[in-house]
Amino acid sequence: MIEKAYTFGSTIAKKLDYFAFPRTGSHYLWACFTGLFDLVFYENEYTYLPEAIQRFEELNPLSCYSLKLRQDGVPFQPVCIEAKPNGLHGEPCPSNTPAIILIRNPHSTIYSLFKTAKDRWNYKNEESKNSIQEQYDKYREFYKAAFEISFSNKHPSLIVRYEELIGSQEPLEKIVEFIGVTPKLNCEFVRHWTDFERMTNDGKRTFYRQGDDQAWEKDPEWRDLVLGAEVGKFDEFGY
């Protein structure tokens, strides 16, 4: 191993940056990464946090085991995906490294953020138009920067939409093609074990909640708050 790179014998790890706003489905996508690639990374201050460890309690052990397997004949091919190049959620910034950008419907994202904060972290702050507006503004600024990177054509990037990711194996195939290595498990197998209901345990979950992009629409109180906040349109991001 050398600084800022991983080497295994003569093999140098493929290196990528990764950008995603909180609650866009990063941990779901990383489960997919686990099944597809030989992930390598430097330990950091977030690696052994109790919060990070407790998340696995909501996952199906059989799914976690299955995603660590390898098909016969697939060589070890290290892939280093830097999930926090500028902090825990990595504010998008230009670099010479290829980047994967995960995006999700802003309404589903912000709703999930508030609900998880209440259910998991016991935040007592009441939802308000101002606090909701602030999160939408942060989302908008985050993806403006991310899309600027994507459309600049200065280095390769791939936009992955959460809604498509949970719907079929096609996004996984695009990710594999983008990274350019043979997946250790085929996309169909990984898609099977990352089916949201199959991947998670039964019962109440506070981190891997529902994976439902329509949940916010079924909450009339929340829907009224969002409409009252005048959060604007997100056509530029495809929503």
The tens digit of pLDDT for each residue in 34-62 reads 999 999 877 666 666 676 677 778 889 99
* 154-170 tens-digit pLDDT: 779 999 999 999 999 99
Q: pLDDT category, 1, cuts 50, 70, 90? A: very low
Q: Which residues contact 191 (CB under 8 A, 6 or more apart)?
A: 168, 169, 172
Task: Please give the model's pTM, rounded to 2 decimal places.
Answer: 0.86
Number of domain units in the chain:
1
3-state secondary structure of 148: helix
Q: Which domain holds residue 40?
A: 7-237
Q: What is the CATH number of the domain that holds 89?
A: 3.40.50.300
Within-domain flag for 126: yes
Within-domain flag for 208: yes
pLDDT, residue 194, reads: 95
CB 159 within 8 A of CB 101: yes
Within-domain flag for 2: no
The pLDDT of residue 126 is above 60: no
pLDDT, residue 231, reads: 86
Within-domain flag for 100: yes
Within-domain flag for 117: yes
Within-domain flag for 1: no
CB 74 within 8 A of CB 184: yes
Within-domain flag for 169: yes
Single-letter amino acid code for the residue at 117: A
CB 35 within 8 A of CB 190: yes
pLDDT, residue 41, reads: 77
